[in-house]
Homo-oligomer: A and B are copies of this chain.
């Protein structure tokens, strides 16, 4: 059993992130009054990923910073590393699957990072090879205690803003976000439930929790969901350990439910969500019977980097 991230690490991450990450509010979703949305789409890179990347990179020493950082990501973590590297004056290399939406690649190029395109299955291996060859610090997208502690600041803010939160809904991909959020929420309010949300087409985390160990779904399967940020085929080992300890369940949503949630978030709450970012809201809107009972639900809107063509399509 690995050491789990605890509240003190999350609180220290919050101190490092003060003045860097946006202190996102809880936005009431119109309707029955039970849902609050935490719009991480308002972070500088359009996603919560900035929190973990910045927390990890800001802990590097002077020599490590001079050599630079490398990471592998389908987009939002890559943008977060690129943004942080530029903010701290550090060179950054990003290993990206060639399936990454153009909007995310363009954003990384604009931030001055060097991009290496690879086949999705080769991304970890390529990043490790580059790290070894050039002495770069590898900043993992989720399987890392500093990254998890940074993402956990989302949970810290939720409970500080609403100490009465009953159910916290969190999109799951590699598991870094829900690991950190659950660690913070359960430390501060053990009676609150933390529920993961996945697309039905990429429900590897649900299967993993059922079986008691991380399982891998083929890229051909997870690649079918429009939620490109949630196509990671296997949750990380360290995130999984947190999920087993803290997470109360996983709910899945359909592709249509994701599209409808994106539309409702835009029309009713004036928030722009990418498909993966809309899954938690979709779970509240369409799967409430599968959720634990409560009065106050919080859905983490994890990111807003949606391809403009897809966004216009869901609005029509």
Contacts and interface: CB of A to CB of B under 8 A. Distances in A.
Contact of A272 (B28, B46, B272): B272
Contacts of A266: 272
Interface in A254-280: 266-267, 269-272
Nearest to A274: B270
Interface stretch (A18-26, A116-124, A202-210): A18-26
Question: How many identical subunits does the complex contain?
Answer: 2
Given A39-B42, A42-B39, A272-B272, A267 B28 contact: no
Interface in A15-40: 22-28, 30, 39
A22 B22 contact: no
A305 B267 CA distance: 8
Given A28-B44, A30-B44, A44-B28, A308 B267 contact: yes
A217 interface: no
A312 B266 CA distance: 11
A23 B42 CA distance: 14
A304 interface: yes
Given A267-B308, A271-B272, A42 B22 contact: no
A289 interface: no
Contacts of A25: 22-25, 42
A233 interface: no
A28 B22 contact: yes
A63 interface: no
Interface string A284-316: 000000000000000000001100100110011
Contacts of A30: 44, 110
Given A28-B22, A42-B27, A270 B267 contact: no
A151 interface: no
Given A25-B24, A42-B39, A311 B304 contact: no
Contacts of A27: 22, 42
Contacts of A39: 42
A41 interface: yes
Contacts of A269: 42
A86 to B, nearest CB: 10
Shortest 5 CB-CB distances between A and B: which pairs? A270-B304, A270-B272, A41-B270, A22-B25, A27-B42
Interface of A: 22-28, 30, 39, 41-42, 44, 46, 110, 266-267, 269-272, 304-305, 308, 311-312, 315-316
15 contacts: A22-B26, A22-B27, A23-B25, A27-B42, A28-B44, A30-B44, A39-B42, A41-B270, A267-B308, A270-B271, A270-B272, A270-B305, A311-B315, A312-B315, A312-B316
